[in-house]
């Protein structure tokens, strides 16, 4: 169990797919944040919006 073999092509493919997934997740998270802030601004006002974003 002391030997590990790694295929460089497989590792590159995994890295590319993980990078693509992380980009999509970051974009989705940013969209959700903007949507949540837009929904909360009427409740907390413009000044409260800064505190919500922090």
Query: 1-54, pLDDT tens digit by residue?
Result: 689 899 999 999 999 999 999 888 887 777 777 777 778 878 887 777 777 766
- How high is the pLDDT of residue 8? 92
Domain count, the chain: 1
Q: What local confidence, expressed as pLDDT, does residue 51 receive?
A: 78
pLDDT at 1: 64
Report CA-CA distances (Å) from 1 to 5, 7, 25, 33, 45. 11, 17, 35, 45, 60
Residues whose CB is less than 8 angstroms from the CB of residue 36 and which lie 6 or more positions away in sequence, other chains included: 52
Residue 1 domain-assigned (yes or no): no
Cβ pair 25, 18 in contact under 8 A: no
- Return the pLDDT at 10: 92
Tokens of 51: 């505190």
54 in any annotated domain: yes
Indicate whether 16 belongs to any domain: yes
Note whether residue 2 is domain-resident: no
Residue 39 falls inside a structural domain: yes
Show the domain range for 35: 7-54
Write down the pLDDT at residue 49: 73
Q: What is the pLDDT of residue 17?
A: 92
């Amino acid at each position: 169990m002391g030997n590990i073999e790694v295929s460089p092509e497989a590792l590159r493919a995994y890295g590319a797919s993980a990078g693509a997934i992380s980009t999509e997740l970051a974009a989705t998270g940013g969209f959700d944040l903007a949507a949540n802030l837009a929904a909360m601004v009427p409740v907390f006002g413009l000044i409260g919006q800064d505190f919500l974003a922090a």
